[in-house]
Amino acid sequence: GKHVSKGANGFLLEMKQLLSLSLTCLLIRGAVANEDNWAVIVSSSRYWHNYRHTANALGIYQAVKRHGIPDRRIILMISDDHSCNPRNPETGKMFAEPSKKDDICRNAEIDFRGSEVARRSFLRVLTAGTPLGPNQVSPERKTMQSTSRSSVLIFLSGHGGHGFLKFHDYEELSANDLRNAIRTMHALGRYKRVLLLLDTCEAASMTSIIDSPDVVAVASSGFDEKSRSSNLAEEFGLPMSDRFSLVAIDFLQSRRALTSTIEGFVNSFEFTSVGSHVHVHSTVNDASLSEIGLREFLDGSMPLSMDLMSRGEETVPTLLAGMRSHGEEEEGHQSSAPISTGTYTCATRHVPVDSHPQSCIDSNLIIVSVAIAVGVA
């Protein structure tokens, strides 16, 4: 009896080791399959009262990074430096909600900022053209080097209307522009699948004409429908994020994003939370949304951050409850952020990524000091 027991234990141990080895192989296969994932994240609005559009983009950026996609495979385009705006009560920081739990500016590497964020530069990122501009620094960091093996996440946040998304307050990305760019991506073999998230008014009018294969587009609002912002944050004097983006950020940064399908993700956008009718447009023919894992677009084949690993299952923040309807506003007329080159951390100005990060106050003092020195000279 003792011999039989030992044999059984040995068999169980061998089976456990084989199972562990098989699981390891599966994880390695998954890592190889996802090592070429990319994300393009855009806030197309400037001016202080559009703080929420920048917060939307930075929140998505942080969620994507938490799941292991490195900065070298994230193209982050931010139209205005709200973190250093004099009206910001939290200088050098940004938050997506009033509790100020997570500084979404922390360690953010911005590839395009200020006037660099434009219709042309966005389209060239998608279609592999080298962005145009003065004094280009490390242009290879500003192009998406995706392949036919890449799952590409594209997020756009800004003001829009029927068939267009505004960049700053003077040019528009049309629905045809977006459709044609994705057509070019497909023709050049620049993606395996695309997940497009668009948070703007009448967002469905931008996504419904996309006809390239293997694209899932999730729009924050239907045709002729406003996208809604969160409640006014008294300390900041404005909404800190949009409802659709806040729900998306909450879902994507949680552990359940790694086990959910696209269908599960889409179902999280309830009208009571978002305030608009989320529209889904899919050109994927070989699988349903219930068969496509959200992890396909998130797993960057890097270790998950400890912050994510320690998170429990989360729900949409309670601040969503009872939110007032607050539609898009027209852009104001404040001065825009200056054109700059290279890659930057969120709370720095005119400082390449290789330089030591500075606070907004420090960088402003440096600018003033240089100006005084030049004047004296």
The pLDDT of residue 17: 60
The pLDDT of residue 29: 38
Is residue 134 within 8 Å of 80, Cβ to Cβ? no
Angle between helices 119-127 and 175-187 (to 10 degrees): 20
Is residue 250 within 8 Å of 287, Cβ to Cβ? no
Q: Is the pLDDT of residue 269 over 80?
A: yes
Q: Is the pLDDT of residue 166 over 90?
A: yes
- Most trustworthy range by pLDDT among 73-82, 120-129, 178-187, 228-237: 178-187
User: In the chain, what percentage of residues exceed pLDDT 70?
Assistant: 67
Hunting for tokens 């420090």 — which residue is that? 362
151-157/38-43 β-pairing:
parallel
Sorting pLDDT into bands at 50, 70 and 90, what band is 150? very high
The pLDDT of residue 337: 35
Sorting pLDDT into bands at 50, 70 and 90, what band is 100? confident
Sorting pLDDT into bands at 50, 70 and 90, what band is 286? confident
Reference 199, options 64, 38, 42, 67; nearest CA is 42
Residue 305: helix, strand or coil by DSSP?
coil
Is residue 113 within 8 Å of 344, Cβ to Cβ? yes
Q: What is the mean pLDDT of the chain?
A: 76
Q: For 304-354, how does the pLDDT look when each residue is reduced to its tens digit (9 = 90+)?
A: 444 444 444 444 444 444 444 444 444 433 333 333 334 455 654 433 333
Tell me the C-alpha distance between 284 and 193, whole Å. 8
The pLDDT of residue 8: 58
Helix (H) or strand (E) holding 307: helix 306-309
Percentages of the chain per state (helix, strand, coil), in multiples of 5: 40, 15, 45
Of 336 and 263, which is predicted with more confidence? 263
Q: Is the pLDDT of residue 372 over 70?
A: no
The pLDDT of residue 140: 53
Residues designated as active site: 159, 201
Weakest-pLDDT range from 70-79, 219-228, 333-342: 333-342
Is residue 317 within 8 Å of 226, Cβ to Cβ? no
Please give the C-alpha separations between residue 13 and each of 9, 10, 20, 182, in angstroms, as whole numbers.
6, 5, 10, 51
